[in-house]
């Protein structure tokens, strides 16, 4: 199930700087949340496992099952929306997983995603947005006119934006220290820009759901691109300083403005 991927060159240097001893595995089967019996197989390749348990009181009763599972204390790795690479600090050493859905993707892009995961491991930010919002997740859910799944998507996007405020500075510094990864970062940002340029209008006309738009815009925070309104307010020092309370207030005000429009 888990095939060790050896790192070299710029990737090895990124790991040494940000997440020493972290192991990278190619996973044989795709997943959103790794099935518990499969996750337990990690004990054969890591030194120890220490599952995270979140407070169930943070989670609305109608929230997606994934959130309730996170609060149950079950060893849970991965969640919907994680993409082709995910990571965990619930193991010693930490582990990065490369999923088979990336098969056929350009090698440089895959290396960038692995490098991004290594940087996030080193940031020591919460592994899941629930650890970022904590009890503010219930406030967010009560504040937005979205379904439980859409609220989940929005919260994940908001947390992606928050971590992007930290990673963007690191990626920008790669111009000299990791030029190939820096070029992949620039290229990914340039590919996003055409999709961002008409995003506000697409939401206003109902061509794009708010949660889908948030997912796209928030993923762009880690890049050197200009975000459209109202998402540009998330690419700010204020969000970096105030975190979850800022995100909830932003969501409340944004939906109030949409209703008044």
Q: In this structure, what token pair is assigned to residue 223?
A: 């890049």
Q: Which of these, 30, 62, 36, lies nearest to 51 by C-alpha position?
A: 36
In whole angstroms, what is the distance from residue 92 CA to residue 121 CA?
12
Mean pLDDT of 25-29: 92
* DSSP helix, strand, coil percent of the chain (3-state; round to 5): 60, 10, 35
52: pLDDT strictly greater than 80: yes
Which tens digit of pLDDT belongs to each residue from 169-209? 999 999 999 999 999 999 999 999 999 999 999 998 889 99
Statement: residue 32 has pLDDT above 80: yes
pLDDT for the residue 36: 78
* SS3 assignment, position 239: helix
What are the CA-CA distances from residue 179 to residues 14, 26, 186 (Å)? 12, 24, 10
Kindly state the DSSP code that residue 54 receives in the 8-state scheme: -
């Amino acid at each position: 199930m888990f095939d060790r991927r050896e790192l070299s060159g710029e990737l090895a240097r990124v790991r040494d700087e940000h997440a020493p001893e972290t192991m990278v595995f190619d996973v044989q089967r795709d997943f959103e949340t790794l099935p518990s019996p499969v996750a337990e197989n990690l004990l054969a390749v890591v030194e120890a496992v220490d599952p995270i348990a979140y407070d169930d009181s943070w989670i609305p009763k109608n929230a997606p099952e994934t959130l309730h599972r996170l609060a149950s204390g079950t060893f849970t790795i991965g969640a919907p929306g994680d993409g082709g690479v995910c990571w965990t600090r619930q193991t010693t050493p930490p582990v990065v997983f490369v999923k088979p859905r990336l098969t056929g993707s350009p090698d440089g892009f895959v290396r960038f995603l692995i490098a991004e995961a290594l940087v996030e491991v080193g940031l020591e930010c919460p592994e899941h947005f629930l650890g970022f919002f904590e009890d503010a997740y219930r406030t967010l859910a009560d504040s937005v006119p979205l379904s439980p799944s859409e609220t989940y998507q929005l919260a994940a996007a908001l947390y992606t934006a928050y971590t992007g405020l930290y990673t963007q500075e690191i990626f920008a510094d790669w111009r000299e220290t990791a030029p190939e990864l820096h070029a992949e970062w620039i290229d990914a940002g340039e590919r996003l820009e055409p999709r961002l340029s008409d995003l506000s209008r697409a939401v206003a006309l109902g061509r794009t759901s708010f949660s889908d738009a948030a997912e796209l815009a928030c993923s762009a925070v880690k890049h050197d691109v200009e975000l459209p309104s109202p998402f540009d307010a998330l690419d700010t020092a204020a969000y970096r300083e105030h975190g979850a309370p800022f995100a909830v207030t932003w969501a409340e005000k944004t939906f109030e403005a949409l209703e008044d429009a």
